[in-house]
Structures are given as structure tokens and as C-alpha cells.
Amino acid sequence: MSISPLVFRPLPLVALLAAMYPAAAAAEQADLVLDPVAVTGSRVERNTFDLPAAVDVVDNQKTGAAQLRVNASEVLAGVPGLVVLNRGNYAQDLQISSRGFGARTAFGVRGIRLIADGIPASMPDGQGQAATFNLDRAERLEVMRGPMSAIYGNAAGGVIQLLTADGRGQPTIEGNFVAGRHGLWKADLSSQGEVDGISYVTDVSRFAADGERQHSSVQRDQGYAKLSYAPSSDGRLTLVANAFRQQAEDPLGLTWGRYQSAPRTVETAALQYNTRKSIDQSQGGLSYEHRFGEQRLQVSAYVGQRSVVQYQSIPSFVQANPTHSGGVIDFDRQYGGVSGRWIARQTLAGGQLTTTLGVDYEQSTDERRGYENFVGATLGVRGALRRNETDQVSSFDQYVQSEWQGERWAFSGGIRHSRVAFRVDDHYIAVGNGNDSGQVHYDQTTPTLGLVFRATPTINLYASAARGFETPSMNELFYSGAGGSFSFALKPSTSVHLETGLKAMLNDSSRLDLALFQVSTRDELIVSASSGGRTSYQNAGKTRRRGLELGLDTKWAPQWKSRLALTHLEAIYDEAFTGSSGTVAAGNRLPAVPQLQLFTDLVWRHPANGWHAAVEGMARGEVMVEDMNTRQAAPGFAIANLRVGVDRQLGALKVGAFARIDNLFDRHYVGSVVVGDGNGRFYEPGAGRNWLLGMSLGYRF
């Protein structure tokens, strides 16, 4: 294993954290939940200790602990196997990968299934946006990696599900305000409670910042509402609605030379073309659950719309090609879906059998236009029309899952059939630009198997296996053909996932999770070329991912607890292939996938007066930036964060305040990379030393 020495330069921090942990501690009743309940994977409430899968639950103590609550990267850093990179670029969203899946995406989240309160935040083609997650009212986030993720169908190399608690008790109202460096501030106002049998949660917020780098300002508005009502003792109806609006400048990536000399600046193209992106999205969903004794029926439906306008830095001379679709992307999307499942429980052979039958249908329709990003000599403005089409994607899935739990053994299995269909109706036919209309569909059946052996009351051993697949997204089909046209010839990648692991309660206050895994993939979708914000793709040959994940949660004493998350991942091309830059050798590493990642924290909370503090350490190995592995890799790094705060309940009044410093020692590092950028602008700088100050005020009526 080769790890950049830069990783270990600040690692005395990790040694210091280890030294701060008491050598021994008496078993105390802990507020650290060592066996949380999750619904991801099994689709029914199950303790994570008994699942044949790597599942982590990030509860609201972590999502709300002295955080800005804008980016999922704030709360998911401590999940093994998950790499969440904050680009410092709100125009392109976070870069999230699970065991290497989704690492190479040019924007948004790819290869990971995103779900928020039962509503998919991923489109039928697998592309999703984590930015729409509302962290202000999140009760927990559930993260699943490995074979069992395949039960969610297309592009489910992992699953991230956000769940919001129902309103409870007397009505409350709460306001929060956070401020930090570079003109950063966020204000949100929320309420929750129960009135006449109706449970409600609402939240509105505004976030704005000038940005860490030049030309990286952002303004984001979010709104959220959840209503729940029980028409009978056996039924529950839930309505969820949210809105998201954002305007953000796009600072693009940097060349290695610019990153070294002036990491807070931008390349000239970002200013010349005023690269930027605006998003306007709203959606709503309705779900109903009814219990028939031990049986359960769940049905849901959702609809939404998303409008995006993006100005790219594609040079005007490139657009002289009559097949080019311009440097301004403009689309309006209508999307929706329905799902239904029947969950049956019964006694069988001395154990409990749970069977789930379900169907999912999702669709999206884009009215997509492209324009030149210049008028005459004026750059960064909307020019002549170069593209006009209707793009449709739909998916229809059917699945069955069964789980049998006995005294010492538990078995699970499932099978899912997926059909994903793409259709393009081209309305822009011009001289030199033919008709790109066409359609293609992909069918795949994905089985899963898992077993758990209860070696002792405190030790579970498990193993699981599955087949997975990932179709090209509509964005990946757009520019991957000859001359930048559609490529309906791209194949879906298929994969075989194997995992074995151990889950152990070391004592009344410690839990260890260890997973070993291997993923073998054919026809991996990789970046063929990337330039000016536009990326094309091709199929490679075989790839292989092998790794280890370790998580350790410990309650040392009533006031002290800690978290350790370690990931080692070897992700390589298993056979040579010819890419746009030449022959990629077998054994080359996949870009944007670090071999090593380590997170650790030590948290102190006074049991009586509400004061709390924590120190965090994170280290990451180097990452390659392109398939040839010949360009400068983004070096490994390690950073430390510090936070302190207080929360008090004064009768009906709740008050809180916190202070936080991120990147305490002001390390310079590459936060994320733009894979295969044709201009060599691979590097997106991580944030320097930053501070946050926050306060909150709540009242219970």
C-alpha cells in the first residue's frame, strides 16, 4: 500500500487523541446508541447489529452538533467506506463515493441512491443531488454500503437515506443563526408539534457566502414541511413538501501550477465566461401505511419540478462545430413516481420470516435547450440556440425480499428486475447537425444473498453477495458519441459484490464493526474527456475494488465518547483498455478514490450543565486525477477541527450557542478533483482555517 508521506506529517494529532482516551473505563449507562434501528436495506425496522450489511446511522446529535447544517459532508465524514468531498463549489454539489462508486462524477451524486423521507433524491437514471437534503430537521441519516445496496436497483453502489422525525408534543418554534468567514451566514426558522391529531414539522432557511475562492459566491433558500395524520389506529398518512433555490458562481478547478501559487484564485476562463449555475426545485410526496395485524401495506407517490441554467467556460471557437450544443445549459424537468410494497411476517421453522413484495415506477421529462455562451465578442451571455429537445427517462422495477431470523442464524435473499428506458426527441435540426432522436433501454435482474451467525450474544458474523448494475445517465449519453452527439451505444456496467464482516459489542459501552469486501465490475463507465464543464464517457474493461472498513464507537465515561472510522480501499483497473489519452495499463488506480481514509473524534459533554466540546481528526491518502496515473496526484493530507458549545433548557425556553474552527492548523490541501479534465484543471482546493459562530433560541408553548 502506497500512501503519500503528507498524510502522516500531522498524524501526531491522532496519537494525541489516542493518548487522551482513558486506558480503562467502568461500564456506565451511555447515551451513545450502540445498536440503532435502521429501515434502509430491510425496509422494515431492524437493529443494525442484526443486518448482514455495513450500515451506519448518523443521529441528530451528530447532524446538529455545532454545524452549519448545509452540506452532508459535515455529518458523513465519520462513516467508513464513504468519501464525501466538499468541492468548495456549490455550483457542482458534493462529490460522494461509496467504496469507489460515484467518485468520478463531474457534478452531483452518481452511483449512490439518495432518498429523503421516502422520496428519491436520485432520478431514474441514477443522477442525484445531495444539496436538496434538509439537515435542519433531520432525525438521522442511514448509510448502507456493499452488496445489500443492490436491492435498490440501478446505480445503487451505496444508499444514503435522510429521515425527518414526526412532530411531537406541544408546539415549539426555534430560530438559528450562524456566521463565519468570507461573508458566510445562515438563518433558519423551524416549528414542530401536534395539533388536533395532526403532527407537523416546518423549516425555512437562507444560506449565503462569498466563498473561500474568488468567483465562488452562493445563495441558497430552502423550505420544508411535513404533515402526518393517523386516520385510524392501524393507518398513518404522511405528506412531505420541500423547495430549493440556489444561485452559485462556479470557480472551476485549477491547474497544478495555479493551485501551488494561488489556490484561492481561479483560472481566467471562469471570469471570462462568468461561469455560474442557478437551480430552482420543488417537490411533494404522499405516503400511506396500513397495518393488518402482522402484515403491512405501504404506498407512496411523489411529483416534482427542477429548472437549471448553467453557464460553462467552453471557448467560442469550439462551438463553431455545427454539431456542438453550445456553452449554456437550460432545462426544465418534470419528474415523479409511485411505489407500493406488501410486508408480511409469520412464524416459520422456529424463526420469524419477513417477506416484502414491491414495485417502483419513476419517470422524468426534460425540456432541454442549449445556447451559445457569447454574443459577438461578449462572453458569458446567452447567445444563439444550439439545442432543443425532449429527453425522457423511466424505470420500472419489481422485487421480492425475504428474511428469516432464528435463534443463532438469520438468512436473507432477494431479487429485483429493473428496466430503465431513455428516449430523445430532437427538435433542433440544422445544416451540419442531424437528427439525434433515438431510444434505448436496459434490463437487468439483480439477486442478493446474506446470512448472519450469532456466535455469542455480543458477536455477530455475517456474509453477503449480490449482483449490481449502473446504466449510463442521460448526462453521460449526451456528449459521448462521435462529434459530441448522443451515444446510445454505451453499455451499463455490471458488478459482483462480496462482503464478510464482524459486529461485536466489546462491552456495555463499545461497539466494533469490521467489513472486508471485493467488487468486480465489467464495462465500468469512465471519463473519456472533460473540458469546459462538459464531460463525455466510455466503457472500460474490468475493474476491481478490495478493501477493509472499520468502525469503533466507545463510551469511556459519562462525559466522554469517541468515534474511529478507518477505510482502506484498493481500486484498480483489472485489465488494460484504450482511452482518449492512450492505453491505460492494468493495475492503474481509479481516479478520485483514496486508498486510505481515517476519521476520529473525542467528544465531551457535561451531563448536567449542557456544555459540550469535541476535537476531530481526518486523514486521507493521495488520489489520482486521471486514468493514465501520469499527472500529479492530489497529495494526501490530514486536518483537525475543534468545537465547543452549550445547550440549556430554561423552563419553556431553550437556548444554545457554539463556536467551531475547521482546519485548525490551516493546512493547504486538495479537497476534491475534477477527473480527466482536458485543460488540466484537476484540482479543487480545500478550505483553509475557518471559524463559525452560532446561536439558537427555541420556545415550547
Structural contact between residues 460 and 454, judged by C-beta atoms closer than 8 angstroms: yes
Q: What single letter denotes the amino acid at residue 170?
A: Q
pLDDT at 23 over 50: no
Residues 53, 46: Cα–Cα separation, whole Å:
12
* Separation of alpha carbons 514 and 622, rounded Å: 23
Confidence category of residue 130, pLDDT binned at 50, 70, 90: confident
At 587, which CATH number?
A: 2.40.170.20
- Report whether pLDDT(33) > 90: no
Assign 3-state DSSP to the chain and report helix, strand, coil percentages, each to 5: 10, 55, 35
| Placement of cell 453502489 in the chain | 157
Over the range 524-548, which residues count as b (16 or more CB within 10 Å of their CB) and which as e? bbbbbbbbbbbbbbbbbbbbbbbbb
**Given this model, what pLDDT does residue 528 score?**
77
The C-alpha atoms of residue 386 and residue 383 are separated, in whole angstroms, by 9
Whether the CB-CB separation of 545 and 519 falls below 8 Å is answered with yes
Q: Tell whether the model's pLDDT for residue 41 goes beyond 90.
A: no
- pLDDT tens figures, 240-261: 999 999 999 999 999 999 999 9
| pLDDT at residue 135, as a whole number | 92
pLDDT at 13: 35
Percent of the chain with pLDDT over 70: 94
* pLDDT for the residue 42: 81
Domain count, the chain: 1
Q: What is d(CA 185, CA 416) in angstroms, rounded to the nearest whole number? A: 45
Q: In this predicted structure, what is the pLDDT of residue 481?
A: 62
DSSP 99-140: TTBTTT-SSSB-SSEEEETTEESB-TTS-B-GGG---TTEEE
Residue whose C-alpha cell is 463531474: 106
From 127, 133, 130, select the one nearest 155 (Cα to Cα). Answer: 127
pTM: 0.92
Give the pLDDT of residue 698: 96
Summarize the confidence of residues 483-503 as an average pLDDT.
87
Rounded to the nearest angstrom, the gap between the alpha carbon of residue 278 and the centroid of all alpha carbons in its chain is 20
| Residue pLDDT, tens place only, 174-197 | 999 999 999 999 999 999 999 999
Q: Which domain holds residue 42?
A: 5-700
Q: Lowest mean pLDDT of 24-33, 332-341, 691-700, name the range.
A: 24-33
Q: What is the pLDDT of residues 599-639, one digit of tens each?
A: 999 999 998 888 999 999 999 999 999 999 999 999 999 99
